[in-house]
């Protein structure tokens, strides 16, 4: 058993405050490279990751997500990089596959010393006309479903402590 790996997995936390400094190309490449090695059903590799660092596009994503959330706040917490993950509806395991990619991205960010947090509401964002226009602009097929995003950057806060785990988290049938 690799106890170091288990401790690493237990130490990952969601970061919700980011420095106003872009991550390096090498850091971005390392995180993305890990994401493409996430397991997918029958090895289909159906998910697509869209890495966004462009200020104008990030602003559009922030407004779209905030609108779905019903808030004026930045749902990506000021992260300099947003990694959107899509699944192809034509694949039976698109949701699970994309969730695996999101998890790998989060773990790779942690391994790289970056802060990251899983963001929701991308499904609703990309069902809108504006979302569909972005998919077309990026050359993605119209059967892509927004599953989630990772807000990524250098942490501007300490990682929070782990919450106490609920007592009935595990049921053993022996």
Q: How far apart are CA 148 and CA 98, in angstroms?
A: 8
pLDDT reported for residue 19: 98
How large a percentage of the chain has pLDDT more than 70?
A: 100
pLDDT tops 90 at residue 155: yes
Please report which confidence band the pLDDT of residue 2 belongs to, taking 50, 70 and 90 as the band edges.
very high
Asked if CATH classification 3.40.50.11540 holds for the domain at 12-153, the reply, yes or no, is no
125 near 68, Cβ under 8 Å? yes
pLDDT reported for residue 1: 81
How large a percentage of the chain has pLDDT more than 90?
A: 99
Instruction: Tell me the per-residue pLDDT of 38-82, one tens digit each, with 9 for 90 and over.
Output: 999 999 999 999 999 999 999 999 999 999 999 999 999 999 999
81 near 51, Cβ under 8 Å? yes
Cβ within 8 Å of residue 39, ≥6 positions away = 97, 100
Question: Per-residue pLDDT averaged across 143-167, rounded?
Answer: 96
pLDDT reported for residue 49: 98
| Angle at the Cα of 171 from the Cα atoms of 93 and 148, rounded to 5 degrees | 30
Residue ranges covered by each domain of the chain: 12-153
Q: To the nearest 10°, report the CA torsion of 32, 97, 41, 93.
A: -150
Closest by CA to 154, choosing from 107, 109, 101, is 109
* Mean pLDDT, rounded, of the chain: 97
Please report which confidence band the pLDDT of residue 133 belongs to, taking 50, 70 and 90 as the band edges.
very high
Closest by CA to 22, choosing from 115, 153, 158, is 153
Instruction: Tell me the per-residue pLDDT of 70-117, one tens digit each, with 9 for 90 and over.
Output: 999 999 999 999 999 999 999 999 999 999 999 999 999 999 999 999
Closest by CA to 144, choosing from 152, 134, 154, is 134
Question: What share of residues in the chain are helix, strand, coil (percent, to 5)?
Answer: 40, 15, 45
Please report which confidence band the pLDDT of residue 142 belongs to, taking 50, 70 and 90 as the band edges.
confident
Q: Would you say how long the chain is, in residues?
A: 174
Please report which confidence band the pLDDT of residue 120 belongs to, taking 50, 70 and 90 as the band edges.
very high
Cβ-based burial of 138 (10 A; exposed 0-12, middle 13-18, buried ≥19): middle
């Amino acid at each position: 058993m690799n106890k170091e790996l288990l401790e690493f997995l237990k130490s990952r936390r969601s970061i919700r405050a980011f420095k106003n400094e872009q991550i390096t190309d090498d850091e971005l490449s390392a995180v993305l490279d890990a994401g493409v090695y996430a397991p997918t059903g029958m090895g289909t590799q159906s998910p697509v990751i869209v890495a966004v660092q462009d200020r104008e596009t990030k602003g559009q994503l922030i407004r779209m997500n905030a609108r779905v959330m019903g808030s004026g706040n930045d749902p990506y917490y000021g992260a300099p990089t947003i990694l959107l993950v899509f699944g192809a509806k034509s694949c039976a395991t698109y949701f699970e596959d994309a969730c695996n990619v999101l998890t790998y991205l989060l773990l790779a960010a942690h391994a790289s010393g970056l802060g990251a947090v899983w963001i929701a509401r991308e499904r609703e964002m990309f069902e809108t006309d504006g979302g569909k226009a972005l998919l077309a602009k990026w050359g993605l097929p119209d059967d892509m479903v927004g599953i989630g995003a990772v807000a990524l950057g250098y942490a501007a806060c300490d990682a929070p402590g782990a919450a106490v785990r609920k007592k009935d988290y595990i049921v053993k049938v022996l």
